[in-house]
Amino acid sequence: MDNHHMVYPILLAGGTGSRLWPVSRELYPKQLVKFIGEDSLIQATIKRLDPLLIRENIRIVCGIEHLHEIARHIEEIGLSPENKIICEPCGRNTAPAILLAVLNILKSEKDAVLCIFPADHVINDIKEFHGRLNVAIQLAADGHIVTFGIKPGYPETGYGYIEGGNNVGDTAMTAKRFVEKPDMKTAREYLKAGNFFWNSGMFAFRASVILEEFRCFHPDLLVQMEKLVSTERDISKEDYEKLLNISFDYAIMEKTEKGAVLPSDFGWSDIGSWKSLYEFLPKDENNNVLEGDVITNNTHDCFIMGHDRLVAVNNIDNTVVVETPDSIFVSDIDHSRDVKLIVSKLKEKHRKEYHQHRTIFFPWGSKTTLESRKGYNIERLLLYTGATCREEIETTGSIHLTVVEGTVEINTVDGSKSYNAGESAVLQKSSNLRIKNIIDSPSRVILIKTK
């Protein structure tokens, strides 16, 4: 690749992962979850780019509601979030998200090669991935719009496919057509044909090339987005909602004549369902995947994940059991992706479980609901080092605060006072409360509100 082409990895982190409910939720989507090992999916996505691509060039496109938690995740692995995160005020699918990233990068670069990665996928063979990525970058520098096509290992009906056409050099093929998720009969035919590949949602292209394609196929979207990013003001939700809601595949890849599919085999999975996560993870002697505090008896071919409690399973096969503090999901593995329908029903009923966990994250820390009854509410507050929590509490009863770890300064209308672990404060009725962690480690406070 020519030295004058800068390479920018763009991570798309705007999905909600509803097929992985109850672990993945709107306020805490799957890219923030540690499904595999000690890293969240977004942390693992960043780490697998080392040392091939420059970390400082990474840009992450996410929803405004996930900004602070994504910033915390990338800080944990030594990457400063400053100028790395591009926020969308609302989701409008992958084409606007990618275009937004392109135009932001072109504010400081004349041209660049952009590599697009979903932030919630996994890859096993990093060495092979780097090899394919090098090839994709060179193809992109030469003017191709490259998509990584995963060689199918079995007839999967949960993925879209790309049909490869004529050869492009020694390694790639023209992207002849994109096809929707097939039925089993068609998926078997695709596998037998040998020139059909799973659509990974990963791309590489030059910024100048992709702008020309947007100008050709979606000029209105390009003009609208250029207007939005031309000012120093934050993009409003009202303006962003007016953009076309369309995927990058539909907007560009199915129309362009510059598309190239790069056949790849590096142990990829989109972790799009409990079944796909089960298939990706190593199994025990009974072909089970067990995570958390789990005890089984006469149980085979199952995925069982515990969070807070012991999960005991007896005499079942081919089943998913996922426990979280406020919900439990049970399904046969083959139909576990239908949990998305459960999420829709929860949303229709205005149940908070579709949207959030008992623990909600904020820039200052987190709040965990421990118990909520008719006459009282109990919460645990975690405050990061030096952070301040501001709460406007309205109650006709009283407010009890007990420090269980660390030291905090509590400010009310009556003044401020420091409290150490084991000490408590009692406030009457409504209060504009400010709690500041004044030590160099996290502090925890139990907040009880009587009604």
pLDDT in tens, 186-244: 999 999 999 999 999 999 999 999 999 999 999 999 999 999 999 888 899 999 999 99
Q: What is the mean pLDDT of residues 352-377?
A: 92
pLDDT in tens, 48-84: 999 999 999 999 999 999 999 999 999 999 999 999 9
Fold matches, 6-269 and 359-450:
no
pLDDT of residue 413: 67
DSSP secondary structure of 176-225: EEEE----HHHHHHHHHHS-EEEEEEEEEEEHHHHHHHHHHH-HHHHHHH
Instruction: Reply yes or no on whether the pLDDT at 333 is more than 80.
Output: yes
DSSP secondary structure of 74-122: HHHTT---TTTEEEESS---HHHHHHHHHHHHTTT-SSEEEEEEETT-E
**Do 146 and 205 meet the contact criterion of CB atoms below 8 Å apart?**
yes
Read off the pLDDT band of 260 (50, 70, 90).
very high
Read off the pLDDT band of 378 (50, 70, 90).
very high
Cβ-based burial of 372 (10 A; exposed 0-12, middle 13-18, buried ≥19): exposed
Read off the pLDDT band of 2 (50, 70, 90).
very low
Instruction: Reply yes or no on whether the pLDDT at 393 is more than 80.
Output: no
Which amino acid does the sequence have at 301? D
For domain 359-450, which CATH number applies: 3.40.50.1820, 2.40.10.340, 2.40.30.110, 2.60.120.10? 2.60.120.10
Instruction: Reply yes or no on whether the pLDDT at 396 is more than 90.
Output: no
**Angle at alpha carbon of residue 442, lines to 439 and 443, rounded to 5°:** 80
Distance (Å, rounded) from C-alpha 346 to C-alpha 342? 6
Read off the pLDDT band of 430 (50, 70, 90).
low
Say which residue the tokens 């958390």 belong to: 292
pLDDT of residue 201: 94
Cβ neighbours of 186 (radius 10 Å): 16
Is the entire prediction scored with pTM above 0.85? yes
The percent of residues above 90 in pLDDT, for the chain, comes to: 83
Closest CA to 417 of 403, 398, 396: 403
Q: In the chain, where are the structural domains located?
A: 6-269, 274-348, 359-450
Q: What is the mean pLDDT of residues 273-284?
A: 92
Could you give phi then psi for residue 287, rounded to 5 degrees?
65, 30
pLDDT in tens, 99-143: 999 999 999 999 999 999 999 999 999 999 999 999 999 999 999
Q: What is the mean pLDDT of residues 278-307?
A: 95
Distance (Å, rounded) from C-alpha 280 to C-alpha 58? 26
Which amino acid does the sequence have at 335? H
Distance (Å, rounded) from C-alpha 281 to C-alpha 320? 14
Instruction: Reply yes or no on whether the pLDDT at 420 is more than 60.
Output: yes
Q: Is the peptide bond before 152 cis (omega within 30 degrees of 0)?
A: no
- CATH of span 6-269: 3.90.550.10
**Do 196 and 164 meet the contact criterion of CB atoms below 8 Å apart?**
yes
Distance (Å, rounded) from C-alpha 370 to C-alpha 172? 54
